[in-house]
Chains A and B, each alone.
Chain A
Amino acid sequence: MDTSVCRWLNAPLSRLLQAALVLSLLPQDAAAEIPLNMPVGVTDISRSVYDLHMTIFWICVAIAVVVFGVMFWSIIHHRKSKGAKAAHFHENTVVEIIWTLIPMAILIAMAIPATATLVKMYDTSDAEVDIQVTGYQWKWHYKYLDQDVEFFSNLSTPREQIENTAEKSEHYLLEVDNALVIPTGKKVRFLITSNDVIHSWWVPHLAVKKDAIPGFINESWAIVNEPGVYRGQCAELCGKDHGFMPIVVDARSPEDYQQWLLAKQEEKEQQAQQAAAATARTWTHEELMAEGEKVYARACAACHQPSGAGMPPVFPSLIKSPITTGDINAHIDIVVRGKPGTAMQAFGNQLTPAEVAAVVTYERNAWGNDTGDTVTPTDVQEHNAQ
């Protein structure tokens, strides 16, 4: 019994040492599969942060070895069953002072590099690229200031994977439709805020985490040294889909970044033209239904469910509901303008008139609603013009 107690009590210490060993040998870039440690990252700041982390970790390990070592020594050698007789000492002022001052000294030593790194992290001056990052429930919006490029970035993992009816892809829950593209080697400044509740923008490889607070703007910055794709997640509870609004940063060489920027600006032109064309042309009912189903899956199904049943009362059912079978204009209105005071957002900013027409048509005819209605892009435009 005694020896088994010995072994068992040593277990926490040996586990600690094992973890320490593994942690020191595996800076995260190397071992892909076993998630054990913080990444070293791809910026000078992230490297400093990693170094601070490992330093304080080793200090803690060293103190633990000494302190627990003394304790386990006692447990083994000062047992009554081994005949140990209790001593009587119960105070020693000198020793108390020593073991108060030594930890203080260690902490002061630790505070110095920590302060230096923090000061650097706060210096957002002279950035070359400014990006406004806005958290929404439940996606991110990026706007390149002075560049006329902006877009939403949504989780792109298909619902079937989340619902376990399809196999999960490599970047399950860490993939988006539009990544944030930034140049390497240049100082990129992030202006972070929120549209609704508090979110937090976090990319571990950049060591950037800043809360997105509605009505306020926060700043952070990064200079990425290596091109690559870096993935992060929202880091502040923000409601139902807090775990489903990832961040993907695609760092490219400055030339590639410039090319992408130009392409994006052209794309905006093109999209505007396409949207206008889509609005102008004649759609068949079948075309609207097909497009509507796609738009629904992308933009509505997360709350109203693929089946249309929703999750009442927060996310109403669309099956034979007054909205989807009632006045068409009211239906268009709630999709375009949202419903204040509820979780129903205004999708007018995120969907073209053709997409709105398609999804409203779909909702009015799917799941047995069968109103036979066809809503055209022109109808939507007329509504918007009112």
Chain B
Amino acid sequence: MQPNSRKTLVLATLIPIVMFGFGFALVPLYDVFCRVTGLNGKVNTSPLTEAEQRNRNNQQETMSRGVRVQFVTMNNGDMPWEFAPLEHDAVKVQTGEDFTAMFRVTNTTDRFMQGRAVPSVSPSEAAQYFHKVQCFCFDQQDLEAGESLDMPVVFEVDKELPDHIRTITLAYTLFDVTQVANNN
């Protein structure tokens, strides 16, 4: 082939390779983009870092207000466990203050199972203001037959929460990961 064609071939092949890599890079980029622009989708999964904690404590000046936080639990697929908030389906919390909510899971079957709860916050705009200090999300819960477990979520709603948001819904979906865990 012509020498120029070879050069074009090499350059033109580079583009698809780069784009293939870009496609895979989009997976973590998706998360980074959401965090940086504040266009956070539905979940702010990481607990507060030290810096965020200090930043939080510096926001003493902003007025605190009451916000309603609703808890929704659901099971995915055929997950048979019982899963519900222990006390209330919805609570009134003060922004800037920690609140602890308890959830109970019960393995109602006659065999050992493993579950994992995945969180989702609505409205999505509120997710960046909803700080989970301690959460059982994404933790694998191992329960023997008939066993129950009470799990806490400690969260704080940021005082900077926009005024028009007065209710935040925290939803957990419980997945059966028994087989998956066994395969790994």
Contact = CB atoms under 8 A, between A and B. Distances in A.
Interface string B43-62: 10000000000000000000
Given A127-B167, A217-B42, A195 B77 contact: yes
Contacts of A386: 110
Contacts of A365: none
A219 B123 CA distance: 7
Given A193-B74, A196-B77, A346-B80, A340 B176 contact: yes
B65 to A, nearest CB: 13
Interface string B25-44: 00000000000000000110
A217 B78 contact: no
Contacts of A215: 76, 118, 120, 173, 175
B38 to A, nearest CB: 15
| Chain B: number of interface residues, binned into ranges | 20 to 34
Interface string A190-209: 01010110000000000000
A126 B167 CA distance: 7
A348 B80 contact: yes
Interface string B79-112: 0100000000110000000000000000001100
Contacts of A134: 74
A266 interface: no
A77 B173 CA distance: 67
Among B70, B77, B110: residue with most chain A CB under 10 A: B77
A146 B89 contact: yes
Contacts of B179: 340-341
Interface string A294-334: 00000000000000000000000000000000000000000
A337 B70 CA distance: 29
B80 A340 contact: no
Contacts of B70: 130, 145
Contacts of A256: none
Contact of B166 (A126, A195, A341): A126
Contacts of B75: 195
B165 A219 contact: no
Contacts, number: 74
A218 B41 CA distance: 10
Given A191-B122, A195-B74, A219-B122, A214 B169 contact: no
A216 B120 contact: yes
A218 B78 CA distance: 21
Contacts of A126: 166-167
The dominant DSSP class at the A interface is loop
A125 B165 contact: yes
A193 to B, nearest CB: 6
Contacts of A345: 78
A322 to B, nearest CB: 21
Contacts of B153: none
A217 B74 CA distance: 10
Contacts of B6: none
A130 B78 CA distance: 25
B164 A123 contact: yes
B171 A193 contact: yes
A270 interface: no
B76 A191 contact: no
16 contacts: A125-B167, A127-B167, A130-B169, A145-B89, A146-B90, A191-B169, A193-B173, A195-B75, A215-B76, A215-B173, A215-B175, A216-B43, A216-B120, A219-B123, A337-B80, A340-B176
Interface of B: 42-43, 70, 72, 74-78, 80, 89-90, 109-110, 118, 120-123, 164-167, 169, 171, 173, 175-176, 179
Nearest first, the 7 closest Cβ-Cβ pairs linking A and B are A346-B78, A217-B171, A338-B78, A217-B120, A216-B120, A219-B122, A215-B173
